[in-house]
């Protein structure tokens, strides 16, 4: 009886083969040598034969190879999931941007009408205007003042001044402008929030601020400086488009790929990736508006010749394609190196949808455009001032027919804004319902530390009844979007106090030790200008 036949019949050879296997064949001479206890003679021929015929079993490390395959599948899913988030975020930014041109002027007119008719109708109530109307009037006044100030800035002189610089100097200037844009945006949103709160703060409280007028002056100065900064950015991009050898445009596009080096080799958590995704949405939308400004300026210089537009489209396509490719590569490798699943982008989309749904409630505590500004870092006021300035200087409006066309164009913008808002609101309700985030819309604020530690099971039965009713309304709205908004008051989610950690002996750890641990915030509490502990351990 041959020894390997017993092993084959017993079934042990499939699990732990004791005989040397060479590509499906068993080495009989090796078996005889093991039986005779004869040592194998070392020779070059036997080594080469062993290298050519030796086999291995991947199923012995099944978990490792399965994990590698799942990483490949995750990288293949990243472009689709990322673009879903980018498209949704793009339309959110477009909705906030169109609000400045369409609904904000109408809201300002309604506030002025209320202010002028108040003596005739009689004063009733503690406020002349509602807080939202005060904020709308402040936004409209800032927009008008900054637009008037931008008339004293010569765009053509700035363009020729930038065009006279060398390529390397322009590349450095463009990088400095990108850094300055991020820094000034983070401080500018705080300035605008401080102005809105100072102007709408209840009168019975003791004020500890410097007053509305200084805050208003700071807000106007910020919007004007930021508008000039974006104008210089647009002029640099215009110079890159009009350069003969396109060297500056190539260098600026390669700057996007340098961003990959500074991102993929860092440690990222889910909150950090959420901030980066919001930043990429804002940058992509801003680049589209800058490309629109460049096209308008070039078409004006060539007397609106459509042939020049077809000459610009390849360069525009290259810039847009480089942005998309860089974002896909960056997010694919970040998720790969940090073991983040592709489904996390659905959570990001649900968090952005939550902001939109909560801002449509009756007693929401913030405007949607302000929420987008905090979450994505996109502040529409400076960009709107620059776009109005460029359009007014590029398009000449003369005669009754021209004004009729402008009015029809405004009606088209209003229609686009309304349709975009309806579709976004319907999709947002679907995303919120799919993520099971309805309860967070109706949670009560934590008035004290004791109330914040209560469990959800000890809620008021009447409140539970209201939550169920609003859930039903939310599900109905997600199926058939309408013009009606949610009627429940949007309140910030409750934050539970962290329990003191215990050591091995049962004693609490000192507060100094807990202080250095990075906080694990919820996605709804993460703003664009918040550092989430992104560091390499």
395-412 tens-digit pLDDT: 888 888 888 999 999 999
User: Alpha helix locations (H) across 338-399?
Assistant: 344-359, 368-376, 380-394
Place of tokens 């949808």: 353
Give the alpha-carbon dihedral of 534, 346, 322, 268, to 10 degrees: 10
Q: Is residue 203 over pLDDT 80?
A: no
Name the residue with higher pLDDT: 182 or 24.
182
Confidence of residue 82 (pLDDT cuts 50, 70, 90): very high
% the chain with pLDDT above 70: 71
* Beta strands at 21-22 and 25-26: parallel, antiparallel or unpaired: antiparallel
What pLDDT is recorded for position 33? 60
Cα–Cα dist 336/166, whole Å: 40
Q: What is the mean pLDDT of residues 46-71?
A: 82
Q: What pTM was computed for the model?
A: 0.74
C-alpha closest to that of 84 among 370, 331, 268: 331
Number of Cβ atoms within 10 Å of the Cβ of 356: 23
What pLDDT is recorded for position 493? 44
Q: What is the mean pLDDT of residues 29-58?
A: 72
Confidence of residue 448 (pLDDT cuts 50, 70, 90): very low
C-alpha closest to that of 330 among 264, 280, 268: 264
Buried b (16+ CB within 10 A) or exposed e, 117-146: eeeeeeeeeeeebeeebbbbbbbbebbebb
Burial class for 240, CB neighbours closer than 10 Å (0-12, 13-18, 19+): buried
Phi, psi of 25 (to 5 degrees): -115, 145
Residues 137-163 pLDDT 10s: 999 999 999 999 988 888 888 888 888
What pLDDT is recorded for position 450? 34
Cα–Cα dist 205/197, whole Å: 12
Number of Cβ atoms within 10 Å of the Cβ of 333: 16
Instruction: For residue 25, list its beta bridge partners.
Output: 22
Confidence of residue 41 (pLDDT cuts 50, 70, 90): low
Cα–Cα dist 138/497, whole Å: 37
Instruction: For residue 122, list its beta bridge partners.
Output: none
User: Alpha helix locations (H) across 11-61?
Assistant: 28-36, 44-53
Contact present, 161 and 173 (Cβ < 8 Å): no
What pLDDT is recorded for position 205? 64
Helix (H) or strand (E) run with residue 25 in it: strand 25-26
Cα–Cα dist 264/333, whole Å: 6
Contact present, 274 and 345 (Cβ < 8 Å): no
């Amino acid at each position: 009886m041959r020894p390997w036949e017993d092993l084959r019949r017993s079934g042990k050879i499939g699990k732990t083969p004791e005989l040397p296997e060479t590509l499906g064949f068993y080495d009989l001479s090796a078996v005889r040598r093991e039986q005779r206890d004869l040592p194998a003679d070392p020779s070059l021929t036997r080594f080469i034969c062993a290298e050519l015929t030796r086999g291995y079993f991947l199923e012995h490390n099944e978990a490792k190879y399965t994990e590698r395959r799942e990483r490949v599948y995750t990288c293949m899913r990243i472009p689709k999931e990322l673009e879903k988030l980018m498209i949704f975020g793009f339309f959110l930014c477009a909705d906030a941007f169109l609000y400045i041109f369409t609904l904000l002027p109408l809201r300002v007119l309604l506030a002025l009408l209320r202010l002028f008719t108040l003596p005739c109708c009689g004063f009733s109530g503690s406020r002349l205007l509602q807080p939202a109307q005060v904020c709308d009037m402040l936004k409209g006044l800032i927009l008008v003042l900054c637009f008037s100030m931008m008339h004293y800035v010569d765009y053509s002189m700035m363009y020729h001044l930038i065009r006279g610089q060398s390529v390397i100097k322009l590349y450095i200037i463009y990088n400095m402008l990108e850094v300055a844009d991020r820094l000034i945006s983070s401080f500018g949103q705080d300035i605008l929030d401080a102005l809105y709160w100072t102007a709408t703060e209840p009168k019975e409280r003791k004020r500890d601020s410097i007053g509305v007028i200084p805050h208003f002056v700071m807000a106007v100065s910020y919007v004007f400086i930021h508008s000039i900064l974006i104008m210089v950015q647009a002029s640099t991009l215009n110079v890159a488009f009009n350069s003969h050898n396109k060297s500056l445009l190539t260098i600026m596009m390669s700057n996007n790929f340098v961003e990959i080096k500074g991102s993929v080799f860092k440690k990222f958590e889910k909150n950090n990736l959420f901030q980066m995704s919001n930043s990429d949405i804002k940058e992509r939308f801003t680049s589209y508006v800058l490309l629109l400004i460049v096209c308008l300026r070039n078409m004006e210089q060539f007397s609106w010749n459509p042939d020049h537009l077809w000459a610009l489209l390849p360069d525009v396509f290259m810039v847009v394609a480089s942005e998309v490719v860089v974002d896909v590569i960056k997010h694919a490798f970040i998720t790969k190196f940090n073991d983040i699943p592709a489904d996390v982008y659905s959570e990001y989309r649900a968090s952005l949808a939550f902001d939109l749904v909560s801002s449509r409630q009756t007693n929401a505590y913030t405007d949607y455009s302000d929420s987008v500004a905090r979450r994505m870092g996109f502040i529409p006021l400076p960009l709107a001032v620059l776009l109005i300035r460029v359009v007014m200087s590029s398009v000449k409006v003369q005669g009754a027919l021209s004004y009729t066309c402008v009015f029809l164009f405004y009606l088209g913008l209003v229609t686009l804004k309304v349709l975009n808002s309806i579709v976004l609101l319907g999709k947002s309700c679907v995303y919120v319902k799919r993520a099971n985030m309805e309860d967070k819309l109706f949670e009560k604020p934590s008035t004290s530390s004791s109330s914040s530690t209560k469990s959800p099971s000890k809620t008021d039965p009447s409140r539970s009844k209201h939550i169920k009713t609003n859930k039903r309304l939310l599900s109905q709205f997600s199926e058939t979007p309408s013009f009606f908004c949610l009627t429940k008051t949007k309140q910030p989610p409750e934050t539970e106090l962290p329990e003191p950690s215990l050591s091995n002996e049962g004693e609490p750890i000192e507060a100094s030790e807990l202080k250095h641990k990075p906080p694990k915030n919820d996605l709804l509490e993460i703003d664009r200008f918040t550092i989430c502990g992104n560091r390499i351990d």
